[in-house]
Amino acid sequence: AQSVSQHNHHVILSEAASLELGCNYSYGGTVNLFWYVQYPGQHLQLLLKYFSGDPLVKGIKGFEAEFIKSKFSFNLRKPSVQWSDTAEYFCAVNAVGTYKYIFGTGTRLKVLA
């Protein structure tokens, strides 16, 4: 069965610090990968997605993620976080050809001004 692990449940950073959130999945076939963000009081929004091609994908608001197939990982990064990045971040995996999306348990990020 597919599963997604997000290792960090809570992360606290100061503004301008670098961010890396881990995401690992278990599935042997071809996958589509996503990162979503949920700002306080708002709905989930797509940050970035990987379907194929360049394993380094860039998303909105300066976020990027790297797909490392050999490690089954899709870690999210941002060189310098801002207070407005305070939110909950979810990694999601979809097996190609299926309609099911599996979400990780989420990481709550708090950025201190």
Partner 1 sequence: DGGITQSPKYLFRKEGQNVTLSCEQNLNHDAMYWYRQDPGQGLRLIYYSQIVNDFQKGDIAEGYSVSREKKESFPLTVTSAQKNPTAFYLCASSRVPGRRTNSNQPQHFGDGTRLSIL
Task: State in angstroms the smallest separation of the CB of 80 from partner 1.
Answer: 26
- Whether residue 91 contacts residue 31, with contact meaning beta carbons closer than 8 Å, is answered with no
Task: State in angstroms the smallest separation of the CB of 67 from partner 1.
Answer: 13
Alpha-carbon distance of 23 to 73, in angstroms, equals: 6
Query: Looking up tokens 């996958």, which residue turns up?
Result: 31
- In the shown chain, the binding pattern of residues 42 to 61 toward partner 1, with x for contact by CB under 8 A and - for none, equals xxxxx--x-xx---------
Q: Does position 3 bind partner 1 by CB under 8 A? A: no
Q: Does position 83 bind partner 1 by CB under 8 A? A: no
- In the shown chain, the binding pattern of residues 16 to 45 toward partner 1, with x for contact by CB under 8 A and - for none, equals --------------x-x-x-x-----xxxx
Q: CA-based angle 73:76:77, to the nearest 5?
A: 130
Would you tell me how many other CB atoms lie within 10 Å of the CB of residue 76? 23
Q: Does position 70 bind partner 1 by CB under 8 A? A: no
DSSP 59: -
DSSP 15: T
Interacting residues with partner 1 (CB under 8 A): 4, 6, 9, 30, 32, 34, 36, 42-46, 49, 51-52, 90, 92, 94, 96-106
